[in-house]
Structure formats: C-alpha cells, structure tokens
Structure 1
Amino acid sequence: MPEAHSLHRHARDQRAALAGQVLSVSSPQGRFDATPFDGHRLVDVQAHGKHLLYSFEQAPDVHVHLGMKGIFLRTEDLSLPPRAGTRMRLAGETTAFSLIAPSRCEALDAAARAELLASLGPDPLREGAAAREEAARRLGTARGAVGAAVLDQSVWAGIGNAWRAELLFLAGIDPGRRVDEAEAGRVWDLAVELLPLGVDAGQVVSDPTAPDERWVYKRETCRRCGSPVGTRTVGGRTAYTCPVDQR
C-alpha cells in the first residue's frame, strides 16, 4: 500500500499541475459521480497520511484512498482517451490525471471531512517537529507492540510496512515490544528527517547516502551487520528485523 511519502508526492504534483484551474472531471468507469465537480475550479490538493483531499470552489471535497492497488496515470496529451477502468479523471488546461483502482473515491461534505481528519494521528510530513510531543505521547502510551501501534493511522498517519521496518531498525527497537515516550520521540525524529527525502525521491529513503538501499526491509541480511533478517507477523503485517541491532 502506498505510504505517506507517495501520497504527499501525488498531492504536490497534482497541486502544481492543476490548482487554480477549472477542471473537466469525469468517471469513464461510471463508479464515481463527477457531476458536482465537473467545471469547477480546483483550489487545493492536500495529503493527510494515506488520504488525498481535493478542495473545489462551490463543491464538496473529493476524498481518495489508493488502498493496495490504486494508481494515478498522468498525461500531457489531452486528446488521448482515458482507460475504461478510470474511476476519476481530472483534466486541466495542459495535464490530466487518471485515477485507477482506488479503495475510496468519494465526495465529502465539511462534516465528513472533519470526521476523517479527526480520526488520524499526526503526520510527520505535515506537522513535522511541531507535533513531536503529541506523537511521542500517542505512540508511547499505545497498547501492545510498537510495530502494531505505528501502523495504526489513529496513532500516526502515513506510516506503512516499509517505513515501519526502516524507522524501527534505525531506532534500534524491536517491533514486538512496547516503547516509552522517549523512544517514541526518537522514532518520530527519524520520520521527520527521512520522509521528506522519500517525497522527493518517490521511494523509501532510509539512508541519505545510499537512497536506493534498505537496512532490513525485504532483505535477506542486515545491511549494517550482515546478520540474517528475521521475519514475523506484527500488527497483521510482516515485520523485518535484525536480531543484533534490534534486541
């Protein structure tokens, strides 16, 4: 599933290409009612964790969650017909984005938008260092293993399995145990430092000196010490850990 860095990259790119323009909005697939948005000006596109919110003039917001299979296709050739499976197509003056196979694509009124945002924890790419105390409190007081809690979007928004593996490795924390607020603050600091690099690179970047490498995520051996990477299920997802560096 795309994690926060991917959603913030989508928001940045689409905002730059479409914001301020009157859009042609359609649903070639027919599973999204584009009528309230077609011919309206797009004001902004924002990412909140793994969610995208599109704000239009004189229209509700559009909420998108990509889920496991959702993708965006971009084109600068507006004469090309969209794929039949496109749930929502946003076409501006020179650029169009086609959304395919999202888990959610829906209109949100102000109350529903507020309810969605209230359900999410702090996002390292939005609040950054300013949210450190709240983020540390939420993770440090969460019940159960840190590896499950950090995937809970009501604790922190935007962290998925890849970032979990790399952040907890760098913090020296095994995902199967609980953490205190000091340890949680260290993990947050790493997220605030590294996730912006992921937005720019379009991938998880857990080592700025080797952006294409991972420490433990989907590796057979730990990149730091060479020990075999251990795997087990934590929080319903496969956790990748180094038995030496994450005791």
Structure 2
Amino acid sequence: MPEGHTIHRAARDHRRIFKNRILQVSSPQGRFEDGAKALNGSTCTEVEAFGKHLIYHFGGARVLHVHLGLFGRITKRKLPAPEPKGAVRVRLIGDTHLVDINGPTACEILDPDQLARLTNRIGPDMLRADADPDRAFSRISKSRASIGKLLMNQSVIAGIGNIYRTEILWRLGLHPDMPGNLLSREQFDELWADARELLELGVKRNAIITVDQAGPGKGRYRERTNIFNKPDCPRCHGAVTRVEIETRRAFFCPSCQVLPTNWS
C-alpha cells in the first residue's frame, strides 16, 4: 500500500497539471463509467491529499475520491495519450498530461457532506497545514493498544505506513509493543516532528529515505532504510527481529528498542 508521502506527491504533481483546467474523464475499464461521464468536461479546481486519500475537486461541489488500497497505482504521462495499459479505472486528461488510475480500492464521486464524513474519520495528517497533533496525542495517550498498532491506525494519525512505522520507532528507540498510554508528551512531540520531517523528505525525493545524510538511490528501488527488512541494526550491530503486527510485517532491534520497565 502506498504510504502518505506517495499520495501527497501525487496531489502536488496533479495540482500542477490539472488545477483550473477542463479535464476529459473516462473509464477505459468501464467500472467507473457513470462517474466519469458526470465529471467529463468539468473544471478541476483543486487536488489535495488526506493521509492516503486523494481528492480531486470539481465544479458543482463534486469531488473524485481515490484510495489506492494495497494494489492500486497511479501513472502520469505527457500527451499525446497512449492506449490504456491494464485495467484503468479512471483516466484524467488535461492540456499537457494524463493520469491513469489502476486498481484502486475506492474510486467514487462524493458530495460535500460525504467528503466531510470521510475527512472527519481520518486522523491528523502531519503533511497538511491544518494537522492537529493534540488530537493525535489525545487518542494515543488514552489507548492501551501498542504504539506499533496505533501508528498504522489511519483514524489516529494519517499517512504513516508499514515501512515508516518500523523506521520511526527505531529512530526514537521505541519498542513497537509499548502501549500508547505510556508514551510521554515529550516522546510524542519528538515522534511527530521526526515523522513529519521524514514524510516531507519522502514527498521531495519521491522515495522513503530514513537514513540520515543519505542521498537518493538509483534504479527501481530507491528506498534508504535503517532496519526495515535488514538483518542487523546499524546502531548496535545486533540482530534485527521480525514480527507481524495485525498481519503486516515489522522489524525492531531488541537491544535499541526496549520496553519500559513499568510496562506489564
């Protein structure tokens, strides 16, 4: 599943090519045919991201809501438009570029009330200027759930995915099983600041980079991580432990990430 920086990067790029432009909207696959017809020929007024949700605003207070889920993907190309490749749920064509969206979990038109209900159930997104960290800390500080679970709960904090979860907790020396209600405000503020910095770097580089002073990688796999899917910890050189948290793989260093002594 794409992490939050990917969706914010897409929103930024699509805003540049689509904002205040009339778009041709189609559904080559056919599964979004009615929605595409309703939006075709309309002006896109804004593109924004809420966590892992991509929102295209159109005239008439209508929005196109896209959530890629585990298998969806977005492709941006310059015109002229090639033939659709694969099962393209929706194709958006502007003056200079097109965007194809394949295999999203959600692809739907929402009215203002529906959009408000969607965004109200999404947690604070630290990549947005309107993010409220107090709201996230309030949820975490009252929860006995592990911080490893809470960071992936999009109603608590929006945008952090599996790789960022592992890397942020390692960078701060927090064990993924630590209950949220044991996280101090100072630790939370440090977590929020570090996560926001890493996600902003991800938007800039279009890759997950959590290694300090690391340059962007080359080729298909450009991520630069410390312990995710790595055998050894770069800090203590001990073995990294792999665990599953709600069916998703995660990693931690048992020497550098120790549970608090008051945990039981």
Q: Does 1:139 align with 2:140?
A: yes
**Which sits farther off after the overlay, 3-12 or 55-64?**
55-64
What CA distance in whole angstroms lies between the structure 1 residues aligned with 2:97 and 2:164? 31
- Structure 1's consecutive aligned runs of 4 or more residues displaced over 6 angstroms after TM superposition are none
Shift in Å, 1:165:
0.3
Aligned amino acid, residue 17 of structure 1: I
Following superposition, the deviation at residue 197 of structure 1 comes to 0.2
**Cα root mean square deviation, aligned:** 1.5
2:227 corresponds to: 216
How many residues matched? 246
Q: In the alignment, which residue of structure 2 is the partner of 1:62?
A: 64
| Aligned counterparts of 1:116 and 1:233: Cα–Cα separation in 2 | 28
Question: Does the CA contact (< 8 Å) of 2:61 and 2:112 recur in 1?
Answer: no
Q: Distance in 2 between matches of 1:143 and 1:20?
A: 46
Counterpart of 1:217, as a letter, is F
Query: Against the structure 1 CA distance between its residues 246 and 127, is the aligned structure 2 distance closer, same or farther, given a 3 Å change threshold?
Result: farther
Change (3 A) 1:121 1:79: closer
Structure 1: tracts of 5 or more residues without a match:
none
Aligned partner of 1:242 among 253, 259, 264: 253
Distance 2:142 2:151 in 1: 11
Task: Report if the CA contact (8 A) 2:72-2:101 is conserved.
Answer: yes
Corresponding residue for residue 24 of structure 1: 24
Matches within 5 A, 1:26-65: 26-32=26-32, 33=34, 34-58=36-60, 60-65=62-67
Matched residues in 1 for 2:95 and 2:205: separation?
27
Report the TM-score when normalising by structure 1. 0.94
Q: Per-residue deviation at 1:59?
A: 5.2
Q: 1:84: how far off?
A: 5.0
Matches within 5 A, 1:80-159: 80-83=82-85, 85-127=87-129, 131-159=132-160
Match of 1:231 among 242, 248, 253: 242
TM-score (norm 2): 0.89
Q: d(CA) in 2 for partners of 1:17 and 1:200?
A: 17
State the 1:189 CA deviation: 1.4
- For 2:193, the equivalent position in structure 1 comes to 189
Calculate percent identity across the aligned residue pairs: 37
Is the Cα–Cα contact under 8 Å of residues 40 and 59 in structure 1 kept in the other structure? no
Residue number in structure 1 paired with 2:7: 7
The aligned amino acid for 1:245 is C
For structure 2, the residue ranges without an aligned partner over 5 or more in a row are: 216-222, 259-264
Quote how far apart the aligned CAs of 1:236 are: 3.0
Q: Is the 8 A contact 1:230 1:243 kept in 2?
A: yes
